[in-house]
């Protein structure tokens, strides 16, 4: 995206009466600010916050969203890669040790790019307390972005496509998608993509609503919500 287009996007942002501090810190509303993906991309490109974290359930569009920033000078860290490394060496580690390893790896990455280029961390995290441990001290002022599926049919299509692309195989860690959210029977039903799959998708949407609510509470509603 050239400078002229970025300037146009920034003007559009101002027309929406959104300021840098409103997006990042000063949400006084009782709810998070919500936009669609296109507006969210434009806002982040305009504001270029120093650190973003993108959360959301599997298949919610996190990777699709963050890919749009790689060519715009952002560094993108995928938690899937960290999860895979931890999974390969976690046989004799306690939950607390795994958690500490995860936190340290992410903070080390953020320190490596501090003050140089904006960093986006993307990956599902169900426990808000772990996020508080990551984004503390020098990283406390970060932009929390939550990918929220607001259309069950589209979410089902994305979910099935993403799982198909992965060959229905996963690295199981205490922070990953299955089997801690769906059991093997539910995964099998989802894979068949029949009427039963709709029930599983509805369950995921309900779980997502509860997770989102817990994170809103944990971060005082300071969440930039992307409807997808």
For residue 139, the 8-state DSSP code is G
- What's the pLDDT score for residue 6? 54
In percent, how much of the chain has pLDDT > 70? 78
C-alpha neighbours within 13 Å on the C-beta side of residue 82: 24
- What's the pLDDT score for residue 180? 54
H-assigned helices in 114-169: 128-134, 152-165
Over 183-224, what HEC string results?
Answer: CHHHHHHHHHCCHHHHHHHHHHHHHHHHHHHHHHHHCCCCCE
Identify the residue with better confidence: 56 or 91: 56
For residue 138, the 8-state DSSP code is G
In percent, how much of the chain has pLDDT > 90? 37
Q: What is the pLDDT of residues 118-145, one digit of tens each?
A: 999 999 888 899 999 999 999 999 999 9
Nearest-5° Cα angle at 34, 31 to 39? 155
Strand, helix or coil for residue 52 = strand
C-alpha neighbours within 13 Å on the C-beta side of residue 21: 2
Q: Is the pLDDT of residue 109 over 60?
A: yes
Q: Is the pLDDT of residue 89 over 80?
A: no
pLDDT band at 15 (very low <50, low <70, confident <90, very high): very low
Domain that holds residue 147: 3-227
H/E run at residue 44? helix 37-47
- What's the pLDDT score for residue 21? 39
Q: What is the pLDDT of residues 142-176, one digit of tens each?
A: 999 999 998 888 988 888 888 787 776 655 444 44
Using CA atoms, how far residue 10 sits from 16, 28, 125, in Å, is 10, 23, 31
- What's the pLDDT score for residue 187? 76
Q: Is the pLDDT of residue 12 over 60?
A: no
- What's the pLDDT score for residue 164? 80
Least confident among 32-41, 137-146, 173-182, 216-225: 173-182
For residue 93, the 8-state DSSP code is -
Region 39-51: mean pLDDT is 91
Region 172-185: mean pLDDT is 56
Q: What is the pLDDT of residues 58-88, one digit of tens each?
A: 889 999 999 999 999 999 999 988 887 877 6
| Averaged confidence pLDDT in the chain | 80
Where residue 80 sits, what CATH number does that domain have? 3.40.50
The number of folded domains in the chain is 1
């Amino acid at each position: 995206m050239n400078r002229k287009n970025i300037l146009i996007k920034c003007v559009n942002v101002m027309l929406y009466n959104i300021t840098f501090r409103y997006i990042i810190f000063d949400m006084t509303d009782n709810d998070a600010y919500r936009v669609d993906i296109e507006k969210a991309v434009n806002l982040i490109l305009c504001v270029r916050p120093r650190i973003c974290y993108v959360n959301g359930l599997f298949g919610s569009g996190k990777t699709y969203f963050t890919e749009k920033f790689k060519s715009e000078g952002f560094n993108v860290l995928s938690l899937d890669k960290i999860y895979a490394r931890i999974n390969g060496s976690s046989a004799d580690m306690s939950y607390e040790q795994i958690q500490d390893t995860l936190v340290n790896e992410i903070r080390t990455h953020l320190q490596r790019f501090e003050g140089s280029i904006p960093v986006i961390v993307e990956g599902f995290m169900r426990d808000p307390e772990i996020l508080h441990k990551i984004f503390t001290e020098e990283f406390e002022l970060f932009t929390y972005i939550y990918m929220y599926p607001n259309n069950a049919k589209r979410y089902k299509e994305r979910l099935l496509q993403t799982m198909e692309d992965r060959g229905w195989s996963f690295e199981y860690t205490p922070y990953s998608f299955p089997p801690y959210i769906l059991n093997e029977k539910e995964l099998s039903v989802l894979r068949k993509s029949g009427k039963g799959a709709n029930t599983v998708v509805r369950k995921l949407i309900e779980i997502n609503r509860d997770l989102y609510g817990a994170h809103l509470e944990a971060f005082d509603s300071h969440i930039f919500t992307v409807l997808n």
